[in-house]
Amino acid sequence: MSIRKHYLSRCIIKNFQENDNGTFYEYDCLRGTFQTRNISKLFAGYHYWSDRFETILGTKYENELALVLTKYAHCPIEYEYTLGKERLVCPQYNGMQIHDENERKILSKLLFQQILTQQKNSLPDEKAPEDVLEAFFSSEGLELQYPVIFEIARGFNMPPLILVDGIVFIFIAPCKEKDKLGHVCFMCPISSNRLIIWGDKADCDFFAMKYRDINYLNLCMIERQSKECRIASQNKEYIIWLSKRIQKFDSHENVKITSCRKSP
């Protein structure tokens, strides 16, 4: 019997689990339908790729990634307070940079997650060759900057970051050079209140200001997937609330970047 394949890896999904029952509420943005799923069935199916490639994903990618993601989804993050007029003020986002070279390489492979979404959505004769995919997921990763872990301060009573089947989020940050429009930065949520950004301090400051409204950020993540993605959360009421705002949402970005959802 074929192995069930997750096009959003279980090692990512598990860190979004906030209660013991393991039940997620999934919404299909394209079809407008809801499903109740446990972790084993969320963003998963049977015939997206071979059992052999699924084994390689586990051994060359997910096993290492799971350890690093779990570490940074739960490790303490020191808050930086500033003195306000009447009290100490905590910023909405608090961050820490990762300095370990091996962890940098492993986390950079999170950007390969979009490839699995593309394989899932492609017809058999359109799928990328599995030997090419094996080379990607067996590699040491990408030469990206050392990533920054951002946590949404719990005292702000913000909605949760949602799971999106295409988890990679791309945004344009300003450049110091006046003759350039901006440069591409990457972000991936790793739990319902933490995310990873690959960028410098200026990029992180820009992100923190632009996406301080988590509802707006969640809707932007859906828009980046052409509003054709599946989303999920253990917060049923929030997913229902969000679903009613997707079709009318427009980020009004001057430059809109959408992720390819089928094999190029």
Query: What pLDDT, on the 0 to 100 scale, is given for residue 77?
Result: 85
What the block records as the tokens of 185 is: 């930065």
Amino acid at 215: N
DSSP lists the bridge partners of residue 152 as: 93
For residue 2, pLDDT beyond 60: yes
Decide if 153 contacts 90 (C-beta within 8 A). yes
H-helix or E-strand containing 23? strand 23-28
Query: What is the mean pLDDT of the segment spanning 218-243?
Result: 97
Tell me whether residue 194 is exposed, middle or buried, using C-beta atoms within 10 angstroms of its C-beta: 0 to 12, 13 to 18, 19 or more: buried
Decide if 4 contacts 47 (C-beta within 8 A). no
Q: Which residue has the higher pLDDT, 66 or 176?
A: 66
For residue 156, pLDDT beyond 80: no
Distance separating alpha carbons of residues 71 and 68, to the nearest angstrom: 5
Dihedral angle of Cα 58, 61, 66, 69, to the nearest 10 degrees: -160
pLDDT of 47-96, one tens digit each? 999 999 999 999 999 999 999 999 999 998 887 766 556 665 567 788 89
DSSP lists the bridge partners of residue 28 as: 33, 230
What the block records as the tokens of 101 is: 């070279």
Helices (H), the chain: 10-13, 51-57, 63-74, 101-108, 113-121, 130-138, 201-210, 214-224, 236-243
Q: What are phi and psi of 12, to 5 degrees?
A: -85, -50
Looking at every residue in the chain, the average pLDDT score rounds to: 91
Query: What pLDDT, on the 0 to 100 scale, is given for residue 82?
Result: 64
Distance separating alpha carbons of residues 255 and 161, to the nearest angstrom: 23
Distance of alpha carbon 242 from its chain centroid, rounded?
17
Decide if 171 contacts 182 (C-beta within 8 A). no
| pTM score, whole prediction | 0.93
Query: What pLDDT, on the 0 to 100 scale, is given for residue 21?
Result: 80
Q: Who's near 205: CB < 8 A, 6+ residues apart?
A: none
Query: What pLDDT, on the 0 to 100 scale, is given for residue 90?
Result: 63
pLDDT of 96-141, one tens digit each? 999 999 999 999 999 999 999 999 999 999 999 999 999 999 999 9
Decide if 132 contacts 194 (C-beta within 8 A). no
DSSP conformational letter for 248: T
